[in-house]
């Protein structure tokens, strides 16, 4: 990370304030007004719109291997996803991914 201490604190403070204002928005300022349907329709998809796009390059081109696709990490990503889909449990998915990652690193590297 090349950020200075000041820059890091600016990010933390701005995210803290921004996130608080999002949480406070209707409770504190806008009150009992309905969000338009089209806004709700988009908000519903914010987490699944951001996180997959963030993961895909990390899984395909891991930083630890200098961007080289790594079979152990790719297998761990696939296992996490599949266990998550099958069990619908976040912790089971993390566990499946971690076991696969360590088994893969042990067997393949």
Partner 1 sequence: MPQPTPRQSFLRGLCDSSPFLLVIVPFALLFGVVGTEAGLSITQVMGFSILIVAGASQFAALQLMIDNASTVIVLITALVVNLRMAMYSAALVPHLGAAPLWQRAIIAYFNVDQTYALSQVQFEKNPDMPLAHKIAYFFGTAAPVCPAWYGFTYVGAVAGGAIPPEFALDFAVPITFLALIAPALKTLAHVAAALTSVVLALAFAGLPAGLGLILAAVAAMAVGAQVELWQERRAA
The SS3 assignment for 66 reads coil
**Contact pattern from residue 56 through residue 85 relative to partner 1, giving x for each residue in contact according to CB under 8 A and a dash for the rest:** xxxxxxxxx-------xx--xx--xxxxxx
Task: List binders of partner 1 among 38-57 (CB under 8 A).
Answer: 38, 40-57
7 binds partner 1 (CB under 8 A): yes
The SS3 assignment for 89 reads coil
Q: Which residue has the tokens 């990503």?
A: 77
Q: Which of 28, 71, 107, 108 binds partner 1 (CB under 8 A)?
A: 28
- Minimum gap (Å) between residue 29 Cβ and partner 1: 9
107 binds partner 1 (CB under 8 A): no
| 8 A C-beta contact, residue 81 and residue 52 | no
**Count, residues near partner 1 per rule CB under 8 A:** 77
- Minimum gap (Å) between residue 48 Cβ and partner 1: 5
Q: Which residues, 6 or more positions from 72, have their beta carbon under 8 angstroms from its beta carbon?
A: 100, 101, 104, 105, 107, 108, 109
């Amino acid at each position: 990370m090349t950020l200075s201490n000041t820059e890091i604190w600016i990010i933390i403070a701005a995210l803290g304030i921004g996130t608080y204002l999002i949480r406070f928005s209707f409770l504190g300022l806008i009150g009992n007004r309905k969000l338009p349907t089209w806004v709700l329709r988009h908000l519903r998809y914010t987490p699944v719109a951001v996180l997959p796009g963030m993961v895909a390059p990390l899984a395909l081109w891991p930083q630890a291997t200098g961007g080289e696709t790594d079979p152990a990490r790719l297998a761990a990503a696939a296992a996490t996803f599949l266990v998550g889909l099958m069990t619908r449990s976040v912790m089971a998915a993390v566990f499946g991914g971690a076991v696969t990652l360590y088994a893969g690193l042990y067997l393949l590297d």
